[in-house]
Amino acid sequence: MTASQPTFDYEARTRACQEALADRAIECVVLSPGPNMTYLSGFVDEPMERHLLLFVPQSGEPIFLAPTMYDEQLQADSWVSRRRLWDDGDDPTDALAEIVADLDLAGGRVLVDDRMWALFTQDLRDAMPDATFGLASEVLTELRLTKSEAELEVMARAATVADDVSVEIRELGSSAVGMTEAELAREIETRLADHGGDGPSFETIVGAGPNGAKPHHRHGDRAIRAGDPVVLDFGTRVDGYPSDQTRTVVFGEDDSTATGDSTGPETVPDEFSRVFETVREAQETAVAAVEPGIPAEAVDRAARDVIEAAGYGEQFVHRTGHGVGLEVHEPPYIVAGNERTLEPGMVFSIEPGIYVQDSFGVRIEDLVVVTEDGCRRLNDSPHGYTVR
């Protein structure tokens, strides 16, 4: 897969963060490795036991507190040029205290990353005993909610990879019968990589037959049988941004028994076709409901009304969707009670489902981006359950 490398303006994002800090009279936000640090600095790493923190003050230049071993990586991967380094033989809290003094953070209000380890939050509290603390999401959530054109570009590319693999998995047809869920999951992940994806964006879900009735069943050693409804939920990353789609398909020994999207092998459970059509109608209705200015909960209600009218309300056991950005699950959440108004540039999933215990599950999921007058899907692979 070839495409031009997107340009993310990390410095502009940081300046917007600083403006938000100033508006709220917040002295500084301190971030640990994770999506927020990446969003502002461009630097990507996993949480670890060493002190690696990014201080973004209300004004002036941000500064990293980092192990010396990270110096070259930070120079190469981040626009932030200030670094306070410490060696493994040092006490990192000494360097932390120096940053606190340099930034004059003895008092005032400070935000820390929502997922920062308690070890580091405690060290920050010790270094700033007179400060009051809050969570970085107070500022970062709003900044990350709407996506730039560069972000939408890579998310569309990641969705295309998932779409292409979805089509290829359908084309396995009856050859998928006899594969275990785990084997099919590995096949999906191999194909995602072959199409240019950077690993799975989450652990691939392959739920065959009764396992599909468990919304977050991952995959196991159950063999796929002819006539099994199989829930396939997967995605990949492109330039750090994930895709996420779900299709429910039926692999049969004789695909000629399937005459269209609404019918399938005669071995499917008796109730399956009705459930499938209900979920598909709910998903289409929810997509059609999306427009700027409405609350997120209205999209959830649109899907839920269809499923409740069909008599399956109690078997729709999760929210209709979740935001997607640097994280697979992030705001806005498409759920009852969320009155957050939708805005152009927001990206989220629409994934209603019905789960018939001990029998099968059906879920259909696409990502959509809110536009000026509605929304557009990032996914366009077939929704029907038949395979060819």
CATH of the domain at 290: 3.90.230.10
Total domain count, the chain:
2
Domain boundary among 80, 113, 143: 143
Tell me: do 122 and 190 sit in the same domain: no
What residue numbers bound the domain in which 201 lies? Answer: 146-377
Domain boundary among 82, 108, 143: 143
**Residues 6 or more apart whose Cβ sits within 8 Å of residue 254:** 174, 226, 265
The percent of residues above 70 in pLDDT, for the chain, comes to 95
> Tell me, what CATH number does 119's domain have?
3.40.350.10
Select from 276, 281, 253, 279 the least CA-distant residue to 266: 253
* pLDDT exceeds cutoff 70 at 254: no
In a domain, 139, yes or no: yes
Domain boundary among 122, 143, 164: 143
In a domain, 365, yes or no: yes
Tell me: do 127 and 167 sit in the same domain: no
pTM (predicted TM-score): 0.92
In a domain, 285, yes or no: yes
Tell me: do 116 and 180 sit in the same domain: no
Tell me: do 205 and 279 sit in the same domain: yes
Q: Predicted confidence band at 6 (pLDDT cuts at 50, 70, 90)?
A: low
In a domain, 288, yes or no: yes
91-147 pLDDT per residue, tens: 999 999 999 999 999 889 999 999 999 999 999 999 999 999 999 999 999 999 999
